[in-house]
Homo-oligomer: A and B are copies of this chain.
Amino acid sequence: MAHDAPLLMSFAEGDRSMAGLLGGKGANLAEMTRMGLPVPAGFTITTEACRDYLSHGRIPTALPDLVTGALTRLERESGRRLGDAADPLLVSVRSGARFSMPGMMETVLDVGLTDASLPGLVARGGERFAWDCYRRLVLMYGRTVLGIDPASFEKAAEAVTGPAGRDESLLDVADLKALVTEFRQVLRERTGDDLPQDPREQLDRSIEAVFASWNSPRANVYRAHEGIAADLGTAVNVMEMVYGNTGPRSGSGVCFTRDPATGEARPYGDYLRNAQGEDVVNGSRATVSLADLSDLEPTAYAELLGHLDTLEHHYRDLCDVEFTVENGRLWVLQTRVGKRSPAAAFVLAHEMAEEGLISRDEALLRVNGLQLESLMHPQFAQTSESRLLAEGLPASPGAAVGEAVFEPADAVRLAAAGTAVVLVRTETSAEDVDGILASAAVVTARGGLASHAAVVARGFGRTCVTGVMSLTVDSAARTARTSDGATIQEGDLLSVDGTSGKVFAGALAVRPSEVAGALESDDPAEDTEQPVVRAVRSLLGHADARRRLAVLANADVPADALRARRLGAQGIGLCRTEHTLLGERRVLVERFVLDDDRVSALAEMERLATEDFTGLLRAMDSLPVVIRLLDPPLHEFLPGVEALATEVARVEALDGEADSSLTRRLRVVRSWQQVNPMLGLRGVRLLAVFPELVDVHVRALVNAADALVREGLHPRPEIMVPLVADAAELRAARTRVEQCIARTRGTRASSLHIPVGVMIELPRAALTAAALAEHADFFSFGTNDLTQTTWGVSRDDGQTGFLTAYLTSGVLAHDPFVRLDETGVGELVEVAVGRGRSARPDLGLGVCGEHAGDPSSISFFDRVGLDYVSCSAPRVPIARLEAGRAAVSATDVVGSDTR
């Protein structure tokens, strides 16, 4: 943006393309003004003015004169003058940044009203109306401009309305006058100043307050989390007031061009008679549905439907609209591309493409993997508003039912006894992690989407709702209370909807995801399918047609492989051979390491591995199946040292002498401990110490594949070497693997070629990719390990400690284990791709770390030129969708704001 960008523009001057300068709200107001919609007159003070303010700490010197000019024009157009005793011009002052930022919405209405001009407003709409406006102004000015906490005003109001509060529509003129007096008293007590009686001073200070709100702590944390640049600044929209609160022929409403919850193609909204806009959204009075407006104000209603149709065709998307009816006349106050539920996003995109309103590529860009992910979680079969206890932020999706507990230790204890629990806290900290893990869901009264509870719950896949402001938790008394008086006692059943942020009393029935069920089904019954399932299928189909990235699955057992194939996986990109050694099978490692019963342990491992591999190759017949050689440190399969040492000490104390067999076990297990196992004897390094453990899996794979070939199938086994740091390690491993393949085949003739690849999961592997490519048929990026070593953060230690502290304090915007760190880890991936392909142009390239299933990381993998991503089975549809979106984005289709 040029440095001499304008500081102020009237609505008539701008358009929707100027959101960077005018903010989203200002740009849309300008656009609607251009379209001829009934928008009150006004002007936008630009983000450029805000940036100037932020860098110099004061209002730009040129701004006051520009505001004066704009006000003069406004006075001319409206025929009213600021501060006029007979018919004063009042304005609204609202923030409006480039990107919607819930953390910093600042609004002051009725600016310009003073003791002197009050009579003029009385003349316009009556005494009750005028004093209601005055009450609103003093309250909003006090809160927003002077920064006085809302509680002070609530307390002051009690003197008039009593402690329980009262429906504002029931307040009479005397009440309203008394409230204005009380509120102005609060202003004087808290700041020493009254409401300015110069209307222009009210305006100027309101504008500055909006500028300053850009740097509020909440806004900063929100921006860090959303990756919004800190120096964009906000615009300020100044608009002539129109009034929905002048009487029964007035009112305010909010509506959508289609249903934002289901995507159904009919206008949807709420209307409230004799009210200003904020009354509609804050829920303090019962609204009526949009359809009822046709009875109340048929002309305005017909006009509104026309505008909605115009807007949807103009914006080619779902729009939401704020409107006001003043004495029967319709005003449109705001529009934007509307937020929608995940289900609606799919239905809308699919149906708009069917209608020809948008292209199928655009439709694909209108949905995303996070939405699909939430659709694939279980949901409540039916939610009951009557059982709604409280509402907060949707911090971690899912639907969970459990008994309320208030102490993490109780959660652990009850969970251990088999009880499903919901942990209810004011907020959580590092000591509560065990409790979070033990709970089906977590509910906190404080904290946002980046709070400790939110971060940890998402990390562990627990349902979570944070920021339930209406909740007061008393942990000591093991009880909580909502602001409308309901209580939660320990043991009460709660149902928590992490997707909507709602908390219900009692146990709601949990229904598995329809979408997940339909996608996994062997027998899709298209005719009976829900609109959302049809939409998901259609958009996934288009993603498949467009995507360049293949999508493989990480799977260790045949059942997972079959499920992954049904969900669209094109092979297995990671089979962990250690699966052969997990669970009850870990005794095999014990026998191998502790009891020196190596030969029989190895034979048993080989038998189990052959079984597993046969099933995997069969399930993925004709598709690649990549087997990773043994990776984890062996001590993971052995008994714990602490437990063994404790047992040795106990026996010795009781018997007076040591148990020699136990003591020997302890000694051997202790010798297998590693100080930093993640950086120790594991991966390809095991080959230097226990090559026979590798041979077992290679032999099993060759025998499994050869047997299937004899059955007439087409297995495509591949082998992958983990944790390589130097080409010499890979060369040695490959030699061993190939010798083992040759020996296993013996004289059997099989033309089956088994490619051998390498995992790129250490910085040095990425840097020496050219040398590695000489010994590798493919690279598979292990971004979990690569993140651990690039950052020097172990997943086990970081996530529950300092990493959480970094995320909640905003030091880091994202958990690098969840979203690929493009700056650091990403550079290494790019370096490896470039060097590997230069050395070997036909090198295969994929990724099999957790990031392979992360929506926001997949476009990166597409951009750097990988051939495939391999993720867990449930994430396969998400990866397919995102891979399609990445391909479409790369071809530069018209973008969308819905993400």
Q: Which residues of A contact B (CB under 8 A)?
A: 641-642, 645-650, 652-654, 674-681, 685, 688-689, 723, 725-726, 728-729, 732, 761-764, 767-768, 785, 788-794, 796-798, 801-802, 805-806, 809, 811-812, 821, 823-825, 827-828
Among B654, B685, B763, contact of A802 (Cβ-Cβ < 8 Å): B685
Least Cβ distance of A788 to chain B in Å?
6
Are the C-beta atoms of A824 and B764 separated by less than 8 Å?
Answer: yes
| Separation of A231 and B767 alpha carbons in the complex (Å) | 24
Give the Cβ gap from A452 to chain B, nearest Cβ, in Å.
Answer: 12
Q: How far is the CA of A681 from the CA of B788 in the complex (A)?
A: 13
For A767, the chain B residues whose CB sits under 8 A away are: 790, 823-824, 827-828
The answer on a CB contact under 8 Å between A676 and B791 is no
Q: How far is the CA of A801 from the CA of B687 in the complex (A)?
A: 12
CA distance A375 to B642 in the complex (A): 47
Smallest CB separation, A833 vs chain B (Å): 15
Q: Let me know if A675 and B675 touch, CB within 8 A.
A: no
On chain B, the residues within 8 Å of A791 by CB distance are 725, 762, 764
Do A681 and B649 touch across chains, with their CB atoms under 8 A apart?
Answer: no
User: B678 near A802 (CB under 8 angstroms)?
Assistant: no
Q: Establish whether residues A809 and B688, one from each chain, have CB atoms under 8 Å apart when the complex forms.
A: yes
Q: Can you name 15 extra interface pairs (CB under 8 A) apart from A763-B763, A789-B789, A789-B790?
A: A642-B645, A645-B645, A649-B650, A675-B794, A676-B794, A676-B797, A685-B801, A688-B811, A689-B802, A725-B793, A726-B811, A732-B811, A762-B792, A767-B824, A767-B828
CB-CB under 8 A from A796, the residues of chain B are: 674-676
**B646-A806 in contact (CB<8A):** no
Q: Which residue, of A680, A728, A764, A798, has the highest number of chain B Cβ atoms within 10 A?
A: A764
What is the predominant secondary structure among interface residues of chain A facing chain B? helix
Q: Is A805 within 8 A of B680, CB to CB?
A: no
Q: How far is the CB of A544 from chain B (nearest CB, A)?
A: 35
Task: Give the Cβ gap from A40 to chain B, nearest Cβ, in Å.
Answer: 43
Shortest beta-carbon distance from A876 to chain B in Å: 29
Q: Which 4 A-B pairs have the closest CB atoms?
A: A680-B797, A679-B794, A764-B824, A676-B794
Q: Inside 8 A of A805's CB, which chain B residues have their CB?
A: 688-689
Could you say which residues of chain B place their CB within 8 Å of the CB of A797? Answer: 674-677, 679-681
Q: Which residue of B lies closest to A764 (CB)?
A: B824
Nearest Cβ in chain B — how far from A276, in angstroms? 42
Q: Is the beta-carbon distance between A823 and B768 smaller than 8 angstroms?
A: yes
Beta-carbon contact of A798 and B680 below 8 Å: yes
CB neighbours of A648 from chain B (8 A): 646
Flag if B790 contacts A764 (CB, 8 Å): yes
Expressed in whole angstroms, the Cα–Cα distance for A824 and B772 within the complex equals 13
Contact B764–A725 (Cβ < 8 Å):
no
Chain B neighbourhood of A652, CB < 8 A:
650
Which residue in chain B gives the minimum CB-CB distance to A808?
B688
The closest CB in chain B to the CB of A785 belongs to: B792
Nearest B residue to A732 via CB reads B811
Whether A788 and B645, one on each chain, are in contact in the complex, defined by CB atoms closer than 8 angstroms, is no
Choose from B642, B649, B654, B792 the contact partner of A789 (Cβ within 8 Å). B792
Chain B residues with Cβ under 8 A from A681's Cβ? 797, 801-802
Residues of B within 8 A of A677 (CB): 675-676, 797
Partner of A788, one of B647, B679, B825, B827: B679
Minimal Cβ-Cβ distance residue in B for A431: B671
* Closest B residue by C-beta to A684: B802
The closest CB in chain B to the CB of A677 belongs to B676
Q: How close is A372's CB to chain B, nearest CB, in angstroms?
A: 30
The answer to whether B793 and A679 have CB atoms under 8 Å apart is: yes
Q: How far is the CA of A728 from the CA of B807 in the complex (A)?
A: 11
- What are 20 A-B residue pairs whose CB atoms fall within 8 Å in the complex? A642-B642, A645-B646, A650-B650, A650-B653, A676-B677, A676-B678, A676-B679, A677-B797, A678-B794, A688-B806, A688-B811, A689-B802, A725-B824, A726-B811, A726-B812, A762-B791, A763-B790, A767-B828, A768-B824, A789-B792
Measured between beta carbons, the chain B residues less than 8 angstroms from A793 are 679-680, 725
Distance in Å: Cβ of A805 to nearest Cβ of chain B? 4
CA distance A824 to B768 in the complex (A): 7
A725 touches B680 (CB 8 A): no
Which residues in B have their C-beta under 8 angstroms from that of A788?
679
B811 & A728 in contact (Cβ 8 Å cutoff)? yes
A728–B679 contact, CB under 8 A? Answer: no
A654, A725, A762, A792, most chain B CB atoms within 10 A: A792
What is the CA–CA distance of A675 and B732 in the complex, to the nearest angstrom? 30
Q: How far is the CB of A794 from chain B (nearest CB, A)?
A: 4
In the bound complex, how far is the Cα of B562 from the Cα of A298, in angstroms? 94
Contacts A677-B797, A679-B798, A729-B811; is A649 near B653 (CB within 8 Å)? yes
Contacts of A806 in B (CB 8 A): 688, 728-729
User: In the docked arrangement, what's the CA distance between A729 and B648, Å?
Assistant: 45
Shortest Cβ distance from A643 into B: residue: B645
Q: Report the separation of the CA atoms of residues A876 and B680 in the bound assembly, to the nearest whole angstrom.
A: 32
Contacting pair A792 B764 (CB below 8 A): yes
CA distance A793 to B764 in the complex (A): 11
A824: chain B residues at CB < 8 Å are 725, 763-764, 767-768
Return chain B residues, CB-CB under 8 Å to A827: 767
Closest to A810 in B: B728
Chain B residue numbers with a CB within 8 Å of A647 are 649
A789–B790 alpha-carbon span in the complex (Å): 7
Residues of B within 8 A of A680 (CB): 793-794, 797-798, 801
Chain B residues near A725 (CB-CB < 8 A): 791-793, 824
A665 to chain B: closest CB distance in Å?
Answer: 14
A827–B770 CA distance with the chains assembled, in angstroms: 14
Least CB distance from A795 to B in Å reads 9
CB distance from A793 to the nearest CB of B (A): 6
- Chain B residues, CB < 8 A from A762: 790-792
* A647 nearest in chain B by CB position: B649
- Given A767-B824, A823-B768, check contact A792 B679 (CB 8 Å): yes
A762 to B794, CA, bound (A): 13
Given the contacts A675-B677, A768-B823, A789 and B802 also touching, CB distance less than 8 Å: no
* Chain B residue, CB-CB nearest to A731: B811
State in angstroms the CA–CA spacing of A685 and B807 once bound together.
13
Nearest CB in chain B to that of A729: its residue: B811
**Which of chain B's residues have a CB closer than 8 A to the CB of A650?**
649-650, 652-653
CB distance from A681 to the nearest CB of B (A): 5
CB-CB under 8 A from A792, the residues of chain B are: 678-679, 723, 725, 761-764, 785, 789
Name the residue of chain B whose CB is nearest to the CB of A725.
Answer: B791
Q: How far does the Cβ of A437 sit from chain B's closest Cβ, in whole Å?
A: 14
Residue of B nearest to A653 (CB): B653
Closest B-chain residue to A679, C-beta based?
Answer: B794
Bound-state Cα–Cα, A242 to B863, Å: 73
**A792→B682 CA distance, assembly (Å):** 10
Which residues of chain B come closer than 8 Å to A821, judged between CB atoms?
Answer: 764
A48 nearest CB across to chain B (Å)? 25
| Contact with A649, one of B649, B678, B825 (Cβ below 8 angstroms) | B649
A785 to B790 Cα, complex, angstroms: 11
Q: CA separation between A767 and B823, bound complex, in Å?
A: 8
Q: Shortest distance in angstroms between A499's beta carbon and chain B's nearest beta carbon?
A: 31
Report B-chain residues with C-beta under 8 Å of the C-beta of A811: 688, 726, 728-729, 732
Query: Separation in Å of the A764 CB from the closest CB of chain B?
Result: 4
